[in-house]
Amino acid sequence: MAERVTKEAIKKLDAKLECSICLDPFKQPKLLPCYHVFCKSPCLEKLVTKDGRSLTCPTCRHIVPLSERGVAGLQSDFHIDHLFEIRDAFNKAAESSETQCGNCEAGKATGYCKDCEDFLCDNCQAAHQALKLTRSHQIVSRQEFQEQATKIITAKKTNPTCGKHRKNELKIYCDTCKELICTDCTIRLHKDHNYDLVDDVFPKHKKELVSSLKPVKEKLDKVQQALKVFDTLAKDIHDRRATLEADIHKEIDEQHLLLDQRRTELVGELKMLTQQNLIGLAAQRDQVEITQVKLASCLEYVEGALETGTVCEVLETKAPVLKRIEQISTKFNQDKLQPEIENKIKLITDGKEKLKKSCISYLRIHDDEMTDSCSLEGENLTGVEVNKAVKLKLRLKRQYRNIEVVAAVTHSHTQTPVKCEIIRRDNKYEIAYTPTNRGEHEINLAINGTHVRGSPFTVVAMPQPHTLGAPSRVISNLEKPWGVVVNSKGRVIVVEFGSGRIVIYDENYERIQVIDSRGKAAAGVAVDRDDNIYVSDYKDHKVRKFTANGDFLKEVGTKGDQRLQFSSPTGIGYNKTNDKIYVSEENNNRVQVLNPDLTFHSIISENEINSPLNVSFDRIGNAYVANFDKHNVKVFQSNGTLLRTFAAHGSGPGQLTNPCAIAVSNTDTVYVVEMWGHRISVFKTNGEFICNFGTQGKKEGKFDGPAGIVIDSHGNIVVADRGNRRLQVF
């Protein structure tokens, strides 16, 4: 028990002994007046102003004046130095079970001499106590040393020496001067002062310090309570936004249904009216065509007779010809040449305006001509990068006079406004802003007080890949986490390959639910538009479907290479552009495409696919396959047509070592997890290399066989660090 507690204590001490600037153990720690501690060099020295008179604390922004000595003149932190000594004591305690005797260096240590500060075996302890020189030394057992290591080792810590009388220890405290002194100092420099031994006055001063901390603790409690109120309020705002967003989707879906019904009605009416008009028109055309035949045959006969007939023949046929002409002329009615359904046809062609009004009434679209004819355009409407300037164009279909354009950009999660600028050139407008926080932003755009079509617009800001830095959060104690996904409510869902569990966190990474996946080795996870959960099981060779609440719905699959059979399915992804589920099979070298009800749809197969471990999608539905054994990424259209292949085997820039998971951001950035490269490589969607981050290790920011990746609702990069049994959030 003592050993386990000691290891935990070492871990906590290591965290306290790490400089928050360089992230390495403290070197020459200096204490600022605001009680924050940093390394002297180079951490604090690089923060000094150009005139050398001050520096600003990077934690609380307190301005620290400096003396002529600069950073060297700041107070050294004895507390940190003491913590290093305690850490060394804990290390000795943790290692003492395997420590050899420090005297004979042959036997196993069973005790510790406080005076010699060394470990001894049983034989050397007996000799130690037999010798006159060491007979009085204090020896404790190994177990006692482990339990009281800090107290034993630091007990020999000596008092500091006097600066004026260097051989004398500072054992006296002068209450008049508020400083430590030696016995020689009391004779002249502090002759008539009020002073006493340090050990005698320390309890009183300790009590004063403890008492003085009471108001600080009370204020700290109030501040912490206030922060909880802020966090609760922010969560409530986000929850309300999520609820309203769900209501909007529901309302629009209902209106779409009504519009589809209206479309069916109008198309049916149009089809019936068209058929009636065409039948009537065909009958009238037949009558006109008969009249044409009669007139043409009479004309052709008379003209032919006059041209080729003899005088006698013409005169002989004159009477019947004139009679025929009279009959035709008598029955001829010019009005019959005009279609009698002209008015009905006009109703169809003039019905466009009525149709438009009908649809508008169904959709309840704002009928303001000006705002409805305006639109916000630009590639940045799909996604932007943090600290990168954004420009969007407001397009007007015609020129207007006396208009007022107002724009506002807000960070959705914190409701923090983002400075934006409206640039006008003639009758054209640009909206310019630079997001400083990752996550969703709302762009509200109004003309003369009325929102333009589509406002407010939602844009997600992603961090620039090369600025990710250290993780902002680490979630530990997971059993080989593999697949990870985020649902529409911002919840992070991760599957554990080691336990077969599905673990769900809220958007603040508080664990809220654990679900049994009903399998042996859950590897991949995906969610559809209804937040149903799909899990691929590597050892059972199955795909299972659950509701968003974790209720089991259905499973498919047996081991094999036929349709709806799988061989070691790993990654699973949902393509929202075609509403399909994609399952990558490591041993069948293919990606099987399923419908949401887990029926078969199609297969993506290509000669160069070798052990595909994961599939992800960009915003237009292209599938990115992590080709594990070929060390590259293959990009397919949703119908399975190969578009391109990028990367090759290696550890250099733009090269990959066993890619196993992919996430594509809304800024067309591709994050590729390299399982045995122990890092994340970042590309553009066209395969152009951007950067990579991470190396093998156990410290935060390092990886051990990472297996999964996703981008959460705030634009954070979430990595399933499988070997280290944790999630790291960047």
Give the model's pLDDT for residue 462: 78
Give the model's pLDDT for residue 384: 80
Pick the range with the lowest mean pLDDT from 146-150, 398-402, 483-487. 398-402
Q: Each residue of 579-605: pLDDT tens digit? A: 999 999 999 999 999 999 999 999 998
- What is the residue whose two structure tokens read 């997890």? 673
Are 699 and 450 a contacting pair, CB within 8 Å?
no
Pick the range with the lowest mean pLDDT from 69-83, 367-381, 486-500. 367-381
Q: CA–CA separation, 533 vs 142, rounded Å?
A: 54
Phi and psi based region of residue 53 (left: phi greater than 0; alpha: psi -120 to 50; beta: remaining): alpha
Share above pLDDT 90 across residues of the chain, in percent, rounded to a whole number: 31
Give the model's pLDDT for residue 2: 39
568 confidence band (pLDDT: 50, 70, 90)? very high
In order, the DSSP letters of 566-598 are BSSEEEEEEETTTTEEEEEETTTTEEEEE-TTS
Q: CA–CA separation, 705 vs 628, rounded Å?
A: 13
Residue 232 or residue 99, greater confidence: 232
C-alpha separations of 412 from 229, 407, 451 in Å: 18, 15, 18
Sheet containing 542-546: give its strands across.
522-527, 533-537, 542-546, 552-556
Give the model's pLDDT for residue 158: 61
Pick the range with the lowest mean pLDDT from 58-67, 384-393, 401-410, 429-438. 401-410
Are 54 and 47 a contacting pair, CB within 8 Å?
no
Q: Each residue of 674-708: pLDDT tens digit? A: 999 999 999 989 898 888 889 999 999 899 999 99
Give the model's pLDDT for residue 346: 47
Name the residue among 95, 124, 118, 119 with its Cα closest to residue 109.
119
Chain-centre distance of CA 40, in angstroms?
A: 36
Q: Each residue of 87-136: pLDDT tens digit? A: 766 666 565 556 778 788 778 888 888 778 778 888 888 888 888 888 88
Instruction: Provide φ and ψ at 217, rounded to 5°.
Output: -65, -40
Question: 3-class SS at 634?
Answer: strand
399 confidence band (pLDDT: 50, 70, 90)? low
- CB-CB neighbours of 96 under 10 Å: 20
Residue 480 has pLDDT above 90, yes or no: yes
370 confidence band (pLDDT: 50, 70, 90)? low
Per-residue pLDDT, averaged over 245-264, amounts to: 80
Residue 372 or residue 177, greater confidence: 177
Residue 357 has pLDDT above 70, yes or no: no
- What is the residue whose two structure tokens read 């059972």? 540
Residue 342 has pLDDT above 50, yes or no: no
Pick the range with the lowest mean pLDDT from 269-283, 467-481, 518-532. 269-283
- Tokens encoding 242: 């999520």
Are 86 and 150 a contacting pair, CB within 8 Å?
yes
Pick the range with the lowest mean pLDDT from 85-89, 113-117, 337-341, 514-518. 337-341
CA atoms within 13 A on the CB side of 507: 20
Question: 3-class SS at 622?
Answer: coil
Residue 183 has pLDDT above 90, yes or no: no
- Tokens encoding 188: 């002249």
Residue 511 has pLDDT above 80, yes or no: yes
Chain-centre distance of CA 92, in angstroms?
A: 42
- Tokens encoding 447: 């003309």
Give the model's pLDDT for residue 78: 72
Which residues are within 8 A (CB) of 562 and not within 5 positions of it... i.e. 6 or more apart? Answer: none
In order, the DSSP letters of 186-221 are GTTTTTTS-EEEHHHHHHHHHHHHHHHHHHHHHHHH
- Average pLDDT over the chain reads 83
